[in-house]
Structure 1
C-alpha cells in the first residue's frame, strides 16, 4: 500500500505518454521521401535477390537523420535497384537526429512506412533524459514512438 501512492503520483506527474511507454520523438521526425545516401568500407551486391550488404563503418543519411552501424543489409523494392525498401542494421547501431539519439544492437528501417524498429539494449537520449528498454518503435513521419520491454528511466525532482 505504501508503494502504490508514490508510483501513482510519479505516473501522474510524468504524464500518460510515459506511463504507457509512449514517448514524443518530435526531434526524430523525418521526411522519408528525401534521398537516402549510404557510405561504407565495402559493398556486396546480390542481383538474384535484389539486396546489397554494406560492411564496415556504415553511414546512412537522409536529410538531417544519421544512422550508423557496422553492417547494413539493403533490400530493394523488387527489380527497382534504385529504390530502397528496407535497411537492416546490425552492430553498434546509432540513430541521430538533432539533439535526440537512440542506440541498439539491431534496427530495421522501413522506408515506405517511415518506421524504425530498434531492438537489443535500446537506449534513447533526449537532452538530459535517458530512457532504456528492449524494443523501440519510431514513426519518423509523425514523431511518435513506443518503448517496450522493461522500460527504465530516472526522473529528477524539479529544482535540483
Structure 2
C-alpha cells in the first residue's frame, strides 16, 4: 500500500496532530483550532517522512505555540507524527493546560517534542516556567500529562555545564 503524497495540506494536518492534545490536557478548543504556520522556507520529503521549516518559524494552534529558527517534523511509515524538533538561539514552546491553570512556557537552544510520550525536552540554556515556578539548567524534561519536571546540569553534546536552578512560589493560603 502506498502513502499519499506528503503535500502541504497533509503537512498542516500532521502539524495539527502534533499540536492538538486531549481536552483534559489543554484548552478545550486547541485540537480543533486552526493551525497557523509562518516560515521563510518549507522542504518536504515524503520518503523520509519529514517536513523542515526554516527562517523564523512560528507554528500556532489554539493555546500552543512552537517557534525556532528551524523546526523539523518527523512521521513514521503509517503517517503518524512522532517528533517535532525546534532549534535556534532561543527556541520556544508554550501551552495553557486548562482555563484555570497558568501558561506553561519553555525555552532552549533545542526543543524536542515526543508526541506519543507527550514529553518535551529542553536542551542547552533550558528554561521552564509554570506560573511563578521556574526551572533552569542544561537539560530539562517535562512530561505534559503528569506535569513532572526532571532537570540536569549537563546535556549531551553541550560543552558548558549549566547548573540546575529552581524557584518555587509558595502556595497562597486562604484566610487569616
Assess same fold via TM > 0.5. yes
Distance 1:126 1:60, change over 3 A: same
Give a deviation string over 1:90-119, Cα, whole Å, max 9, x none. Answer: 002111124331110001111111111110
Q: Determine if contact 1:30/1:63 at 8 Å carries over to the other structure.
A: no
Runs of 4+ off more than 4 Å: 154-157
List per-residue Cα deviations over 1:76-100 (Å, max 9, x = no partner). 12152xx321101100211112433
Long gaps (5+) in structure 1: 1-28
Give the corresponding residue for 1:12: none
Question: Which residue in the other structure is 2:152 paired with?
Answer: 148
Normalised to the residue count of structure 2, the TM-score between the two structures is 0.61
Aligned residue for 1:47?
46
**Residue of structure 1 in register with 2:81 after alignment:** 84
SS of 1:106 mapped into structure 2: strand
Aligned residues: 127
The structure whose RCO (Cα within 8 Å, separation 6+) is larger is 1
1:1-160 equivalent positions in 2, closer than 5 A: 29-30=25-26, 34=31, 37=35, 39=37, 40-80=39-79, 83-91=80-88, 92-98=90-96, 99-149=103-153, 150-154=163-167
Unaligned runs of 5+ in 2: 1-24, 97-102, 154-162, 171-176
2:91 aligns to what SS in structure 1? strand
Q: Which structure has the larger Rg over C-alpha atoms?
A: 1
Matched residue of 1:49: which SS? Answer: coil
TM-score with structure 1 length normalisation?
0.66
